[in-house]
Chains A and B, each alone.
Chain A
Amino acid sequence: MNVPAAWYLILAAVLFGIGAFGLLTRRSALIMFMCIELMLNAVNLTFVTFSRTLNDISGQAIVFFVMVVAAAEVTVGLGIVVAIFRRRSSTSVDELSEMKG
């Protein structure tokens, strides 16, 4: 069975929307991270879809780059979240508003 490319794209859009919605509504830094991962992977999905549709390998190559960068980002981000949690016993980003103008 051949799934049309549009379905993949719709799925990617839905995943991206969920991720963006979660990023804007949730307060926990961990959940927000997960949402960002969701958005990144939604984009990856579109890359792969177009790569297949257009028969071009470069889209899949970029996906690898995105995954590597995402892994590195998660490492640093989680490190920061752990450090903050140690100081404050909370991961709510709303409490981190010292940079308020």
Chain B
Amino acid sequence: MATVATLILLMPLLGFLTLLLLGHYLSEKQVGVIGTGVVAASFIFAIISFVLLLHDSSREVTVNLFAWISVGTLHVPAALLVDPLSITMCLFVTGISALIHLYSTGYMHGEKDFRKFFIYLNLFVFSMLLLVLANNLVLTFVGWEGVGLCSYWLVSYYFDRDSAASAGKKAFIYNRVGDVGMLVAMFLLFSRLHTLTYLTIFERAGTLTPVIATLVVLTLLLAATGKSAQIPLFNWLPDAMEGPTPVSALIHAATMVTAGVYLLVRMSPVLALSHSGRMTIAVIGGVTAFVAATIATSQKDIKKVLAFSTISQIGYMVLAVGVGAYGAAIFLMISHAFFKALLFLGSGSVIHSLNGEQDMRKMGGLQKYLPLTFPTFLVGWLAISGIPPFAGFWSKGDVLTNVFEHNKALWALGVLTAILTAYYMTRLFILTFRGTERFREDTAGHDPHESPWVMTTPLVVLAALTVVGGILDLPWVHHDSLAGFLAPTFGYVAAGGHADTLAQYGLALVDVAAAVFGLLAAYSIWRNITESSRYESSFLEHVWHWDDFYDATIGRPLTEAAQFSDDVIEPQVIDGAVTGLAVSVRRSAEGLRKVQSGFVRHYALATVLGLAVVIVYLVARVG
């Protein structure tokens, strides 16, 4: 078990090091094979670990690698924690990543930095696995930072484009803000519990005072909003679309954005201590889901729509975490990984066939030209819209059922978001695949071509997973389901909903009705038009002016403060102090030079007077 679990982690690292050190001597094909192969091997080891874990009655294996930090009372081992949660994450992270790696060998074919791309990709997967498998917060933080760093490199992969370079910086800086939250949470936990190892934290969590527990939960939430692109730190994710499409798929489906949700789920025993903290999490998730969905309805770039849809779906996951439905959150995370990877890779295939065009107004009628992308995308579209029997229906239903039990207002917001989700995805689907052909300009009159097999195979596999993904956790199965498997990790938190069957059917019907309503609304509006000022308000297109708000409240004042420093503080205060010192030395020297008259008599007089003073002093002392 220990060896296999370590190998999950080490395979991508091996790939990274091989490509880094020897990649120079390898052909593009060999680089692709190694890069994809190591992640696939990692997936196989994850499956083996999973099987081994099923036969382990404790369902909890700690693998000690070596003692890493040992200072005073702080002992941080480099150790892995293999439990149902981490192994579930490992399975889908490595599985989806392997497919995306395979896809990338086709998508990135002929790029001049092909090798570099796979180096980053492997390091990305390694960081994510480290984050997931770590048995303490510090090691998780290393993976957490690694993920942030790789996303920076990959988002600004086309760094000679200004927009890509600044998008990378934006992603990095937004993530830094979140990292502060994680660090503060770690400091708080260590100062109170004197440990950073998960299992020990959970044992001692009961001794936390309510105020500290709430603070920890809120700082963890801040960390999660940064990494998982939630309000108020969500703006970096749409900009991250500047990276190559497989990177978007990787960030959105398998690695990175799920990290925040994972952290919250991992810390569930601490979350359980703070009701107000959980409530905040739920509200942030629900509001983010809704806001992002409204924005997605008015975006013109196919990848931007998908980006906001990711934010919205992650919002659902955070909402589920907030109401304590951790199993539902993980279920949605996995099924979302399936269909979002599918949608991103599908959109990549579309973009690839149109020579890089991303504007949906210049697509349309692609149905007959892309015989494999079209049906797989169709599956992804129906799944995210929440149409049964696809994975999205079951997982979103699971989340909404749980939310319904806790908070009716947030449930209503969730259903509203579901309508919007179906609406914007249908709009995207119609504009891309149906309607008139508007792409001739981009393809120079040629028919678009279907992508090569390395790109379509992942699509087919992901589509199959999206179709059957629901069986992971069907509402009427209790023990042999994902929730049943994860239950030991969440301890006392009950797996599955408590609502009676009738209510469950009722809620499912509401979900379907919401999906169908959104779908039909979009169909009736977007059947014949490609843009509409009425349904694409500029307020929504400009992301609720969120960036402008940050620019006005943070960006511009800070720029002005910097300008003020440059204009006033630097020349007057700092230079003033330096030149002031020089001037005062010169002035006082000018005064003092008069003493040096050059006349011997004056010096002699000074000596005599000094002598007189000494004598008077001595006499006065004696007398």
Cα–Cα distance between A96 and B603 once the two chains are bound (Å):
13
How many A residues, CB 8 Å from partner?
Answer: 13
- In the complex, whether A100 has a CB less than 8 A from a CB of chain B is yes
Residues in A33-47 with C-beta less than 8 Å from chain B: none
* A54: Cβ under 8 A from any B Cβ: no
22 sample A-B contacts, Cβ–Cβ < 8 Å, listed by A number: A23-B601, A23-B604, A24-B604, A24-B605, A24-B608, A25-B601, A32-B600, A93-B599, A94-B601, A96-B598, A96-B600, A97-B597, A97-B598, A97-B599, A98-B598, A99-B598, A100-B597, A101-B592, A101-B593, A101-B594, A101-B596, A101-B598
- Residue on B nearest A25 in the bound complex, by CB: B601
The interface bits of chain B over 564-607 (1 if a CB of A lies within 8 angstroms of the residue's CB, else 0) are 00000000000000000000000000001111111111001100
With a CB–CB cut-off of 8 A, which chain B residues contact A66? none
Determine how close the nearest CB of chain A comes to the CB of B613; give it in whole angstroms: 15
Give min CB distance, B590 to chain A, whole Å: 9
Asked whether, in the complex, the Cβ of A100 is within 8 Å of the Cβ of B600, the reply is: no
A101 to B601, CA, bound (A): 15
Asked if A18 is at the interface of the complex by the 8 Å CB criterion, the answer is no
How many angstroms between the C-alpha atoms of A80 and B409 in the bound complex? 107
- Nearest B residue to A20, CB-CB: B608
A25-B605 Cα distance, complex, nearest whole Å: 10
**Given A20-B608, A24-B608, do A93 and B601 touch, yes or no (CB 8 Å)?**
yes
Q: A residues 11-35 with Cβ under 8 Å of B?
A: 20, 23-25, 32
User: In the assembled complex, which residues on chain A have CB atoms less than 8 Å from the CB atom of B601?
Assistant: 23-25, 93-94
3 nearest CB pairs, A to B: A97-B598, A101-B596, A100-B598
In the bound assembly, the distance between CA atoms of A94 and B601 in angstroms comes to: 8
Please, how many angstroms separate the alpha-carbon atoms of A32 and B600 in the complex?
10
Alpha-carbon distance between A101 and B593 when the two chains are bound, in angstroms: 5
**Chain A contacts with B in 77-101, Cβ cutoff 8 A:** 93-94, 96-101
Beyond the given A97-B597, A97-B598, A101-B594, could you list 11 further A-B residue pairs with CB under 8 A, ordered by the A residue number?
A: A23-B601, A24-B601, A93-B599, A94-B599, A94-B601, A96-B600, A97-B599, A98-B598, A99-B596, A99-B598, A100-B598
CA distance A93 to B604 in the complex (A): 12
Contacts of B593 in A (CB 8 A): 101
A99 to B593, CA, bound (A): 11
Distance in angstroms from A13 CB to nearest chain B CB is 12
Whole-angstrom distance between the Cβ of A17 and the nearest chain B Cβ: 10
Tell me the nearest residue of chain A to B593, going by C-beta.
A101
Q: Compute how far the CA of A97 lies from the CA of B593 in the bound complex, rounded to whole angstroms.
A: 13
Judging by beta carbons under 8 Å apart, are B596 and A100 in contact? yes
Whether A93 contacts B600 in the complex (CB less than 8 A), given A20-B608, A24-B605, comes out as yes
In the assembled complex, the Cα of A94 lies from the Cα of B596 at a distance in Å of 13
Please report the C-alpha to C-alpha distance between residue A20 and residue B598 in the assembled complex, in whole angstroms: 19
Q: How far is the CB of A34 from chain B (nearest CB, A)?
A: 14
A97 vs B599: C-alpha distance in the bound complex, in angstroms?
6
What is the chain B residue whose CB lies nearest that of A36? B604
The reply to whether A101 and B605 form a contact with Cβ atoms under 8 Å apart is no
How far does the alpha carbon of A90 sit from the alpha carbon of B107 in the complex, in Å?
Answer: 101
Taken together as a complex, chains A and B put the C-alpha atoms of A36 and B599 apart, in Å, by 17
Closest-CB distance, A74 to chain B (whole angstroms): 17
Q: Which residues on A sit within 8 Å (CB–CB) of B599?
A: 93-94, 97
B595 contact set on A, CB distance < 8 A = 101
CA distance A10 to B364 in the complex (A): 125
Return chain B residues, CB-CB under 8 Å to A24: 601, 604-605, 608
Once the chains are docked, how many angstroms separate the CA of A23 from the CA of B605? 9
Residues of A within 8 A of B604 (CB): 23-24
CB-defined contacts of A20 to chain B, threshold 8 Å:
608
Docked Cα-Cα span, A93 to B597, in Å, equals: 12
Task: Collect the chain B residues with CB atoms within 8 Å of residue A23's CB.
Answer: 601, 604
Across-interface contacts of B596 in A (CB, < 8 A): 99-101
User: In the bound complex, what is the Cα–Cα distance between A39 and B592 (angstroms)?
Assistant: 31
User: With the chains together, A32 CA to B604 CA distance in Å?
Assistant: 11
**How far apart sit A98 and B596, CA to CA, in the bound complex (Å)?**
10
CB closest residue in chain B, given A21: B608
Please, which residues of chain B bring their CB within 8 A of the CB of A100?
596-598
List the A residue with the shortest CB-CB distance to B590: A101
Contacts of B597 in A (CB 8 A): 97, 100-101
Closest to A23 in B: B604
- For B538-563 the 0/1 string (1 means CB < 8 A from A) is 00000000000000000000000000
How near does chain A come to B30, taking the closest CB pair, in angstroms? 81
Q: Which of B592, B596, B604, B605 has the most CB of A within 10 A?
A: B604
Q: How far is the CA of A59 from the CA of B176 in the complex (A)?
A: 83
CB distance from B597 to the nearest CB of A (A): 6
A31 and B602 CA atoms in complex are apart in Å by 17
A93: chain B residues within 8 A (beta carbon): 599-601
Contacts of B605 in A (CB 8 A): 24
Chain A contacts of B592 at CB under 8 A? 101
Q: Which residues of B contact A99 (CB under 8 A)?
A: 596, 598
**CA of A24 to CA of B602, assembled, Å:** 8
Please report the C-alpha to C-alpha distance between residue A38 and residue B6 in the assembled complex, in whole angstroms. 99
For the complex, give the distance between the alpha carbons of A8 and B603 in Å: 29
- Chain B min CB distance to A48 (Å): 21
How far is it, in angstroms, between the C-alpha of A77 and the C-alpha of B605 when the chains are bound? 20
Bound-complex Cα distance A94 to B604 (A): 13
